[in-house]
Amino acid sequence: MTNIITQPLTRQLLVFTITIALVITSSCKKSDPVPTTDDQLEFIEEYEITYEDLNAQIAMLTDDPNVYDYPDVLNEMRLEAEEPGINTILVSKVSYWSVDNQGKAKKLTGLIMHPLLKLGKMPLISLNHGTVLEKKYGPSQFNPFLVNEYLDFAEVIIAEAMASWYGWTIIMPDYQGMGDDKDENHPYCNTELLGVATADMIKAAKTTLLKKYRINWTGKTFLIGYSEGGFVTMSAARELEKRNEAFNGSACLDGPYDLSGTMLDLMLSDNPFPVPYFLPMLLVGYNTMYPALYPYDQMLVSPYKEDIPKYTTGFYSTSQVNSIMPENHILKTVFTSAFIDTLTTHTSKAYVTLQNNSSYVNWTPKTEMLIWHCKNDDCVPFGNYEKAKTAFGTLSNVSFVEWPPVDPIFGQPIHVSVAPRAFKEGASWIYHRAKY
């Protein structure tokens, strides 16, 4: 791949020191003041992606003419757009104020991207990334020169396509414990913290846009996410409504909304699980947030009580973390019998904590929402959808799509295989609402 970042950037990421008087000079020959107040985005570095660069990125993604995969998604997005843009987009790594795992103020990182020269107004879309084990794969860490990592950043490439072809402004929060936040664990499936991290970035982005920074905003805001991103999208929608922060809709795709039911059943199942590292992420996240309820020495048998906290730090690969899990991939093998009893006792604090973190409980959505789920998802089972539908099914503002079973692609889990289709359906749902 050649010249992903255009010549004025000389194939280098522009790194800026943020000061009160700083001004960014972008490669499109525009100079704008960078917002630096606490309620706005602070710009760290940026680069341009041309239409040709985007097509070159897409060409590097795995493409099988016999299956529906990411190149098909991106091509369909281009065809769907009534006036498909060929826009050069500006991608910026940013920071913003939110909270850490202890609820204290902290700078978190993410991405914002938008067309450089688009005429007319643009909606704001928060694309909330799915499960990522390693901190270096948070969206803000994307390096367009590392071609061998494109599949690890497929959601970033999808976001670039949305920005270019639909003409959207896209933000992608890293969340706590991801991206530049290297000194704490990721609070996996913690509905409050992840909802706050996402809502705070949306607020900072909206404040920045209202200052007329580079972008002519329509005033419309949407959220979308798959897998953990679906969970985060629902959690952020709840947080935004709690704050009375206006937004227009959320597309929740194959998310683990039902932690104390469907996902707990999966954890305690006698059947093997396709991607074992899911459980260490959850247990380390919950030990971080609720150490008295999820202590390693009471939860886990050896060697897992030593290995899971040692290797689930965000600095080891999925293959390394998978390798420390039971060879038979039966997740409950790691638990002590006493902790299994605790998790199956519905009055226990550990169980209630899972229940309270289920993203569909204890609220009623007021804004428009799509809940989309593949019926044979093998990592985030369809029961999550059914529980959400039971809770929200009578609401006129919530729509439900049960996607028929799909076949695995390239030997991967169904959950991975259906992700391209989910993103296309969620993006289309937003597109038809954002353009009016």
What pLDDT, in 10s, does the model give residues 14-44?
A: 333 222 222 223 333 333 334 344 689 999 9
Give the model's confidence band at 68: pLDDT under 50 very low, under 70 low, under 90 confident, else very high: confident
Residues 251 and 285 in one domain: no
Give the model's confidence band at 4: pLDDT under 50 very low, under 70 low, under 90 confident, else very high: very low
Residue 18 sits in which domain range? 7-257+370-434
Q: Does 58 have pLDDT greater than 80?
A: yes
Residues 427 and 406 in one domain: yes
CATH of the domain at 334: 1.10.260.160
Neighbouring CB atoms inside 10 A of 327's CB total 9
Nearest to 44 by CA among 107, 116, 134: 107
Please tell me the predicted confidence (pLDDT) of residue 74: 85
Q: What are phi and psi of 31, to 5 degrees?
A: -125, 120
Question: How many residues are given for the chain?
Answer: 436
Please tell me the predicted confidence (pLDDT) of residue 59: 84
Nearest to 274 by CA among 421, 415, 133, 152: 415
Contacts of 326 (CB under 8 A, 6+ apart): 276, 333, 334
Mean pLDDT of the chain: 89
Nearest to 47 by CA among 86, 2, 92: 92
Percentage of the chain modeled with pLDDT above 90:
74
Residues 66 and 147 in one domain: yes
Query: Is residue 363 in some structural domain?
Result: no
Kindly calculate the radius of gyration of the chain based on its CA atoms and give it in whole angstroms: 21
Q: Does 10 have pLDDT greater than 60?
A: no
Neighbouring CB atoms inside 10 A of 410's CB total 10
The bridge status of strand 122-128 relative to strand 217-226 is parallel
Report residue 273 CA to chain centroid gap.
22
Please tell me the predicted confidence (pLDDT) of residue 390: 98
Each residue's pLDDT tens digit, 404-428: 999 998 889 999 999 999 999 999 9
User: Token pair for residue 23?
Assistant: 């001004």
The bridge status of strand 249-253 relative to strand 89-99 is unpaired
Give the model's confidence band at 151: pLDDT under 50 very low, under 70 low, under 90 confident, else very high: confident
Residues 237 and 347 in one domain: no
Residues 430 and 350 in one domain: no
CB 35 within 8 A of CB 209: no
Residues 285 and 404 in one domain: no
Terminal CA-CA length for the chain? 37
CATH of the domain at 24: 3.40.50.1820
DSSP letter string, 32-76: EEPP-STTS-EEEEEEEE-HHHHHHHHHHS---TTS--HHHHHHH
Domains in the chain: how many in total? 2
